[in-house]
Amino acid sequence: MKSSEVGRPRIGVPIRLSSSDTPDARVGAANQLFTFIVELLREAGAQPVLLTPVSADSAGRLAAEMQRLDGVLLPGGGDIDPRLYGQDPEDALYDVNQEQDHLDIDVARATIDAGLPLLGICRGHQLLNVLYGGTLTQDMAVTSVTHSSLDPGNPGASEWAWHDVRLSPGSKAAALHGSPEGSTIKVASGHHQAVARVGEGLVVTAIADDGTVEALEDPSRWVASVQWHPEVSQLADSDRLVLFSSFVQVCRHPTQARPGGVQ
């Protein structure tokens, strides 16, 4: 019996593997956001389950792990190795960790194969696009006015770019924010990369004024992602919980989730 049957869905979250002890403050900031996500899932009524490389060392063991889960959330973190989407690394990359890439990709594949709900946030949004065969802009500094001044390594509110995104009516992103008819919401972004070519089978469900792809979903199953950070501490507690509470409800009643893998 899965825990969703007794009211607390078990939601897997792959751990972050880079140490906060590194001189790059962005790693510590990303690890702090990971902690926020785990806390918010718990506050929203879920039982977070931390997924490690040990549990992903074989397809069989990871598939068995999925049988004990009700959903998975892919959190933020460092940059994805661009060789995974057919590009050479550029100088602006930070915290590229191949072990992290393998863990997150293996977990995402196993989640989709098991037909469980899957939600990506920031790096998780970008990773889903890569998994579906899409590409990323490695450095937005020369392409985006809204996002060009971001410095997610600085503490405090100045690390975030606050901007509007337009949610598509009927999308999973809109439903997660309690606006199934679609709306414009203000969000906090802290990233220097973005979706370039959208992966096959994904549709764009939110964009920023500068054209940045802010949300994606697979309409054939419950797979969705957002580029912004709903977990930031500068948001009111009720606002921080909206997306996580909605996702917990999806995992409790995953009627839209359908099995089927990504090649």
Hey, which residues are catalytic here?
A: 122, 229, 231
HEC assignment per residue over 48-102 = EEEECHHHHCCHHHHHHHHCCCCEEEECCCCCCCHHHHCCCCCCCCCCCCHHHHH
b or e along 61-96 (b: 16 or more beta carbons within 10 Å of the residue's beta carbon)?
Answer: ebeebbeebbbbbbbbbbbbbbebbeeeeeeebbbe
Q: How many CB atoms lie within 10 A of CB 219?
A: 15
Q: Are strands 10-14 and 71-74 parallel, antiparallel or unpaired?
A: parallel
